[in-house]
Structure 1
Amino acid sequence: MLLFGGLTALVKYRVSVTFHKDFVKVEGTHIYVGLKSRPKKGKANADLVKKLAKYFGIPSSRVKIISGFKSREKVIEIRES
């Protein structure tokens, strides 16, 4: 789900971990993210930010987890600038 406000999008994700390879898949209004990394000491969250930044072609400093730091359900802020 994308909620646009100016040049910022808030995206709600359900993240799955321990896949054989990382992936980002967009189907309609849903974005699916799979990560190889385990959710230990914030490693999966850091990898999620990097993966989304690369997917959208922006610096990782423009991608921020807003809520869901210890949950599979996350709200991510993606800033255009």
Structure 2
Amino acid sequence: MRLAVRVTPKGGRDAVDGWGLDPAGRPLLKLRVSAAASDGAANAAVIALLAKAVGRPKSALTIVSGETSRVKLIEIDGLEAEGLAAKLGAPPS
């Protein structure tokens, strides 16, 4: 499954801040990481945080787009919508 996330680097702590909507009304998951957005540190922290939150290994997650953006599209192998909703709650419609 593919998941859109909005990342706040240097957010003071690593945390999932819940669901939100982008300007077009599409659901995205809000994340904050303590790592700075330099040398891929924030991207690595996002992968680690999200892998732990959904109960998948880090190797099952890939950033598909948005490597240098706050909004990223992440592919999660072996996770279905029901599993995502069970771990993080249902996305808003």
TM-score, normalised to structure 1's length? Answer: 0.81
User: Could you list the runs of 5+ residues in structure 1 that have no partner in the other structure?
Assistant: 1-8
> Given that residues 17 and 29 in structure 2 are in contact (C-alpha distance below 8 angstroms), is that contact kept between their aligned partners in structure 1?
yes
User: Could you list the runs of 5+ residues in structure 2 that have no partner in the other structure?
Assistant: 21-26, 80-93
Write the letter of the residue equivalent to 1:32. K
Residues 60-79 of structure 1: CA distance to partner in whole angstroms, max 9, x if unpaired? Answer: 00011000011111000011
**Residues of 1 paired with 2:17 and 2:73: CA distance?**
17
Relative to its length, the structure with more helix (as a share) is 2
Identity of counterpart residues, as a percentage? Answer: 33
**Residues of 2 paired with 1:60 and 1:23: CA distance?**
16
User: How far did 1:21 drift?
Assistant: 1.0
User: How far did 1:27 drift?
Assistant: 3.4
1:40 and 2:32 aligned? no
Q: Any idea what SS the aligned residue of 2:59 has?
A: helix
TM-score, normalised to structure 2's length? Answer: 0.71
Relative to its length, the structure with more strand (as a share) is 1
Residues 45-68 of structure 1: CA distance to partner in whole angstroms, max 9, x if unpaired? Answer: 011001100001110000110000
- The residue number in structure 2 matching 1:61 is 59
Residues 3-62 of structure 1: CA distance to partner in whole angstroms, max 9, x if unpaired? Answer: xxxxxx101111111112110133375411001000110010011001100001110000
Q: How many residues align?
A: 73
Say what the alpha-carbon RMSD is for the aligned residues.
1.5
